[in-house]
Amino acid sequence: MGGTFDPIHRGHLRILDAVAGKFDRILVIPSGHPWLRTSEPVASGGARLEMCSRALDDLSEELQEKVALTDIEIRRSGPTYTVDTINQLRAFFPKDSFTLILGSDAASQIDKWHKSKELKSLVNFLVVRRPGESKSTYPEIEIDALDISATEVRDYLRSGKDVTPFISDSVLTYIKEAGLYGSK
């Protein structure tokens, strides 16, 4: 499961919880330089990795055994292409099959991704429909997805609104300590 995770929020954690039963292992992969976005992530790769690490610590022990955080994309320079990540992972796990877990907004962009044809030949897709979005053309899993985005969390932080319903306490503590997102 990739993403900018700028910051990681409960909507992301809900996905992990809901799909865990389908997989032997889930890798959470914060992206380095998501090239399809109009601007770079607000928080640094290191900060986004740290927030993910803190948020994942709050998962149940059972889930923690399955979920691993990797800096494979953060460490890579240049634009982040998922196909590169998958090829790197395949070298480590040659016998495994891979599924990309993604929200419906991300899924609708796949054809624009770098080497999307090659990527499609290497992975399966599992799509979580975000509230208000239409059905994906890829296999979907019905979960009770939360109506929240990192953009909204950043906006709320900037305007001093309470974000405790949306992000883990440990992530909020980090954001405040590091003075991220213009938090007050």
Interface contacts to ligand ATP, rule CB under 6 A:
3-6, 11-12, 15, 102-103, 105-106, 128, 130, 145-146, 148-151
* Peptide bond connecting 79 to the previous residue in cis, omega within 30 degrees of 0: no
Smaller CB separation from ligand ATP, 89 or 145: 145
Of 103, 100, 109, 107, which is closest to residue 82 (Cα–Cα)? 100
Q: Which neighbouring-strand residues pair with 125?
A: 100
Of 95, 105, 162, which is closest to residue 132 (Cα–Cα)? 105
Smaller CB separation from ligand ATP, 41 or 89: 41
Smaller CB separation from ligand ATP, 3 or 45: 3
Closest distance of CB 146 from ligand ATP, Å: 5
Closest distance of CB 115 from ligand ATP, Å: 18
**Chain residue whose CB lies nearest ligand ATP:** 103
Which residues are CB-contacts of 119 (< 8 A; sequence separation ≥ 6)? 82, 83, 86, 110, 113
Closest distance of CB 126 from ligand ATP, Å: 10
Smaller CB separation from ligand ATP, 91 or 124: 124
| Spatial strand order in the sheet of 2-3 | 2-3, 26-30, 67-69
Closest distance of CB 39 from ligand ATP, Å: 10
Closest distance of CB 166 from ligand ATP, Å: 9
Rg for the chain, CA atoms, rounded: 16
- H-only helix segments in the chain: 10-19, 45-57, 61-66, 82-92, 104-107, 116-122, 150-158, 169-178
Smaller CB separation from ligand ATP, 32 or 103: 103
